[in-house]
Amino acid sequence: MRKKINFLQIIALISIVIWGFYFVVNKISPSVSPDFVTYNQTDIKIGNVTVIADIAETHAQRVQGLSGRSSLGENEGMFFIFEKDGPQGIWMKNMLMPIDIIWIDKDFIVVHFEKNVSPDTYPESFKSPVDARYVLEVPAGFVEGSGVKLLEKVEVR
């Protein structure tokens, strides 16, 4: 003798499948913890200063970015490397400090910057109006203090 499946059992089964799918998707693309992301560093000469920057070149490194860090030293930053040219959107998710954001094209020329971007701007995304390949995040006030200008050449060592 077969049991009949009632409406509530079907709803329960569908709910279990949906919740299971939700957890599988979140395990595939978890939020990245700073404890699991490591960075190489490079020197970047921009304006009249040299910045020691962590290099964010993998997806996990770019997702983590500066999220969760409470401060940056005066000449410290993060250098994001993207696979292809584009507007390269940057947001302030889980940021704890304001920063200056500098977009740099494939020829290492400054094409755009935003000054003193506050963590309170999240979820707004900031993008360059022209294509960029790289983004440099530095402490708020850096652009003005270092004399960075549009179309300025950047040296990455």
Domains identified in the chain, total number = 1
Residue 47's pLDDT is what?
A: 83
Identify whether 52 is part of a domain. yes
Domain region containing 114? 34-156
* Angle, CA 152 vertex, CA 151 and CA 157 arms, to 5°: 130
Identify whether 109 is part of a domain. yes
Identify whether 122 is part of a domain. yes
What is the mean pLDDT of each successive set of 10 residues along the chain, which is 157 residues long?
64 60 41 62 94 95 92 95 96 96 98 97 96 98 95 95
Residue 48's pLDDT is what?
A: 84
Query: What whole-number distance in Å separates Cα of residue 63 and Cα of residue 124?
Result: 15
Identify whether 19 is part of a domain. no
With CA atoms as reference, report the closest residue to 55 among 150, 136, 147: 136
CA atoms within 13 A on the CB side of 62: 13
Q: What is the residue whose two structure tokens read 């700073």?
A: 34
With CA atoms as reference, report the closest residue to 65 among 99, 104, 116, 20: 99
Query: What whole-number distance in Å separates Cα of residue 37 and Cα of residue 60?
Result: 7
What is the Rg, in whole angstroms, of the alpha carbon atoms belonging to the chain? 21
Identify whether 96 is part of a domain. yes
Identify whether 16 is part of a domain. no
Residue 12's pLDDT is what?
A: 60
Residue 6's pLDDT is what?
A: 74
Name the amino acid, one letter, at 70.
Answer: S
Residue 28's pLDDT is what?
A: 37
Name the amino acid, one letter, at 21.
Answer: F
The domain that contains 107 carries what CATH number? 2.60.120.1140
Identify whether 27 is part of a domain. no
Put the strands of the sheet holding 40-46 in their side by side order.
110-117, 99-104, 132-139, 76-86, 49-56, 40-46, 155-156
Neighbours of 112 (CB within 10 A): 19
Residue 17's pLDDT is what?
A: 57
Identify whether 11 is part of a domain. no
pTM of the model: 0.77
With CA atoms as reference, report the closest residue to 69 among 146, 149, 137, 155: 137
